[in-house]
């Protein structure tokens, strides 16, 4: 691709000349120069300014659509050329939900990079719904999500079982209890993940099957990450619901105590998500690698 095309794609995705300059490590005047040259070549205005904001024109949106597809084809070409001499060149953009990005996927990516060092890897993280949106916006090639809901235009592939468990701090007054009743569960102070979290969605759906609704729980606070919840438990006489995969170290160090919830199990699947019919070769390679990975 022409470098001016790359500059245009960066401005279009950031809707900012200054942010594009930062991403590309060039000056803002250089960005402006490249865009003007591209507009002159196409004889079309690609951006319009309204106040301090930049927007794509109709021609700009069309140009972005085609150049984005061309960029995808280039990535596919690089990968297929790499296959000819077993170098597997290319790029792979992965988005992972918070729990997966912190506790599951780093070691997988490290092993994948060791096997395929010429594939350039990018990892973004956020909650599951944000990662699915990045799929739709073509900001990532593959999402790793923990939510329970599904969207029709996304293909999902299970890759790992998980359980959401009840925990309390080792210094908590409840740490001596091994089993709590449903009645206790509904009255004890509890801390949960933030709204929009895949973990919270799974909790909500699983509990509703037992006719337990979130608004009936004694929720003290919603926190934006599992790490924040674990730190909160250090000085909190109450309970929390977190992924079992996230507390392995704390259980070994006896900083957190796991409690059993009478007759209720909160099981879920970690899943790979990709757009239907949108699968580059490097994505297929990673899917195969992750599916066979020995956790």
pLDDT tens digits along 161-186? 999 999 999 999 999 888 999 999 99
DSSP secondary-structure letter at 208? H
Task: Kindly state whether residues 141 and 211 are assigned to the same domain.
Answer: no
Instruction: Please state, in angstroms and rounded to a whole number, the distance separating the CA atoms of residues 141 and 283.
Output: 7
**CB contact set of 189 (below 8 Å; sequence gap of 6+):** 218, 220, 236, 237, 238, 239
Give the per-residue pLDDT at 198.
Answer: 84
Give the per-residue pLDDT at 51.
Answer: 85
Give the per-residue pLDDT at 123.
Answer: 95
183-226 pLDDT, tens digit per residue, is 999 999 999 998 878 889 999 998 998 899 999 999 999 998 99
Asked whether the predicted pLDDT for residue 278 surpasses 70, the reply is no
Give the per-residue pLDDT at 279.
Answer: 63
221-239 pLDDT, tens digit per residue, is 999 899 999 999 998 999 9
Task: Kindly state whether residues 145 and 274 are assigned to the same domain.
Answer: yes
Helix (H, G, I), strand (E, B) or coil at 275: strand
pLDDT class of 78 with cuts at 50, 70, 90? confident
Number of domains in the chain: 3
**Domain of 286, in residue numbers:** 73-160+270-292
Asked whether the predicted pLDDT for residue 84 surpasses 80, the reply is no
Task: Kindly state whether residues 121 and 215 are assigned to the same domain.
Answer: no
What is the CATH number for 167?
A: 3.40.190.290
Task: Kindly state whether residues 167 and 260 are assigned to the same domain.
Answer: yes
């Amino acid at each position: 691709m022409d470098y001016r095309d790359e500059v245009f794609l960066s401005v279009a995705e950031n809707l900012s000349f200054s942010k594009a300059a930062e991403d590309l490590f060039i000056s803002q005047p250089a960005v402006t120069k490249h865009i003007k040259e591209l507009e002159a070549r196409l004889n079309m205005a690609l951006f319009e300014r309204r106040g301090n904001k930049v927007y794509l024109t109709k021609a700009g949106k069309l140009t972005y659509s085609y150049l984005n597809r061309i960029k995808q084809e280039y990535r596919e070409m690089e990968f297929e050329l790499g296959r000819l001499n077993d170098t597997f060149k290319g790029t792979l953009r992965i988005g992972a939900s918070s729990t997966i990005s912190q506790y599951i996927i780093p070691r997988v990516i490290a092993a994948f990079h060791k096997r395929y060092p010429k594939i350039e890897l990018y990892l973004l993280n956020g909650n599951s719904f944000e990662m699915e949106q990045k799929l739709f916006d073509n900001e990532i090639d593959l999402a790793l999500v923990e939510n329970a809901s599904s969207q029709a235009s996304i293909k999902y592939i299970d890759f790992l079982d998980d359980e959401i468990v009840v925990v309390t701090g080792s210094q908590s007054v409840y740490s001596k209890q091994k089993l709590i009743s449903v009645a206790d569960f509904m009255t004890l102070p509890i801390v949960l993940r933030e709204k929009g979290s895949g973990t919270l969605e799974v909790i909500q759906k699983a509990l509703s099957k037992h006719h337990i609704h979130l608004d009936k729980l004694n929720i003290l606070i919603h926190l934006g990450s599992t790490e924040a919840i674990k730190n909160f438990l250090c000085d909190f006489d109450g309970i929390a619901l977190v992924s079992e995969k996230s507390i392995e170290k704390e259980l070994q160090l006896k900083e957190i105590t796991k409690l059993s919830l009478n007759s209720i199990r909160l099981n879920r699947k970690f899943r790979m998500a990709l757009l239907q019919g949108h699968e580059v070769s490097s994505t297929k390679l990673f899917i195969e690698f992750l599916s066979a990975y020995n956790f």
